[in-house]
A = this chain, B = another copy of it.
């Protein structure tokens, strides 16, 4: 068995505005100082959000440090004996869980899928197991393949599934960190979730991570905070406009972007927000869009409709590029504008994706109550909490964007094609 000598060697601190001092082991310091991790300094956590929240310039780098810190807090506080080696593995997995992110985070996701046949988690696994990073991990006494699986939530020890669930589950350290961190940097006024209440009451039930019922209010506010962040940040009209424009620019220039033709994970690591932005700025095909973004000339939302009930037809229609394209053409035609002046945005569409969207699905967090004798009885959170139950909502939005000058005619045309939208188009759950 591979063993690390440095897992327990304390190296020093990093200062984080949220948790204060994050202690690093020598192993962690070594792995942090690799290109794979350092590159995350140049990948924004929330591409587009800075156009609405000027202070939201935080990067994946500080997020993964935060996730590692929380992962350490979870494994240190679980009432189960774990070796320092196991704990170090979990912290490393948290540290590395996002190394696969493409420039501008989720924005590239559909292109990764289309051209490289991997989502960002697949990319993470690939990089951890097969890039130069793998050697560094190995030298530190860890198995890159094991860490790469743990980083996407899979524990190599089937008795200890909770080790993976710390990284990826309904209430993992990834979500805990980003809810709190996004709120800190946007100033958006939700998200001061007391994550330590949750962490300090976690336990293991039949090999799975579980939460004590006394943490239920914290879970509820964590879930509500995540939903608020959808409305306030991810689905904000202007944030989406920025993302759509970036996507369009990438689409125009994609033949000249070698990131979509890479063969080895180390080639992928050459790419970050800075490089992509500059390439798009220099490329005549995409330059105009980047110029508009540079001066905040954004697409405007001319039409918006929200679905809270699964509209099967709509869903089917919108998952197909061809149908969407046809609708864009129809609206453009009716509005009397060029077809590339009309863009339909549907959060769950592959072409403008939002991986979070899928996560508002069923939540099944095992919650336990302790009897007087100390026995832990599992219960379903959705049975315990009406709030969680109602928040497990389906939601879909269709928006039609266009340039400022065509807003009115495109709005009208979209209404004819897509139907009346109710007066209130605020996102509500």
Contact = CB atoms under 8 A, between A and B. Distances in A.
A426 B211 CA distance: 13
A398 interface: no
Interface in A381-415: 384-387, 389-391, 393
Nearest to A33: B296
Contact of A369 (B52, B54, B189, B424): B424
A221 B228 contact: yes
B190 A221 contact: yes
A383 to B, nearest CB: 9
A360 to B, nearest CB: 13
Contacts of A213: 424, 426
Interface stretch (A144-152, A155-163, A272-280): A272-280
A428 B20 contact: no
Contacts of A54: 14, 16, 41, 59, 61-62, 65
A53 B216 CA distance: 19
A307 interface: no
A275 B213 CA distance: 40
A175 interface: no
A135 interface: no
A21 to B, nearest CB: 6
A94 to B, nearest CB: 15
Nearest to A231: B217
Interface in A148-206: 184-190, 192-194, 196-197, 200
A38 interface: yes
A425 to B, nearest CB: 8
Contacts of A65: 54
A65 B389 CA distance: 39
Contacts of A61: 54
Nearest to A232: B217
Nearest to A44: B57
Contacts of A419: none
Nearest to A35: B295
Contacts of A55: 16-18, 58, 62, 185
A13 interface: yes
Contacts of A283: none
Contacts of A41: 50, 54
Name which of A16, A55, A296, A297 has the most chain B CB atoms within 10 A of its CB: A55
A34 interface: yes
Contacts of A390: 386-387, 389-390
B194 A189 contact: yes
A200 B21 contact: yes
A302 to B, nearest CB: 11
Contacts of A188: 15, 194
Nearest to A22: B54
A423 interface: yes
A214 interface: yes
B377 A387 contact: no
Contacts of A15: 52-53, 186-189
Given A55-B58, A385-B429, A390-B387, A423 B193 contact: no
Interface of A: 13-18, 20-21, 32-35, 38-39, 41-42, 50, 52-55, 57-59, 61-62, 65, 184-190, 192-194, 196-197, 200, 213-214, 216-218, 220-221, 224, 228, 231-232, 273-275, 277-279, 281, 294-297, 308, 369, 371, 377, 379, 384-387, 389-391, 393, 423-426, 428-429
Given A213-B424, A308-B386, 4 more contacts: A13-B200, A18-B187, A190-B217, A386-B428
- By Cβ-Cβ distance, the 9 closest A-B pairs, closest first, are A189-B194, A17-B187, A278-B278, A192-B192, A35-B295, A54-B62, A57-B57, A390-B390, A213-B426
21 contacts: A13-B200, A16-B55, A16-B187, A18-B55, A18-B187, A20-B196, A21-B196, A38-B294, A39-B294, A41-B54, A54-B61, A55-B58, A57-B58, A57-B59, A189-B192, A217-B232, A220-B228, A369-B425, A384-B424, A384-B428, A386-B393
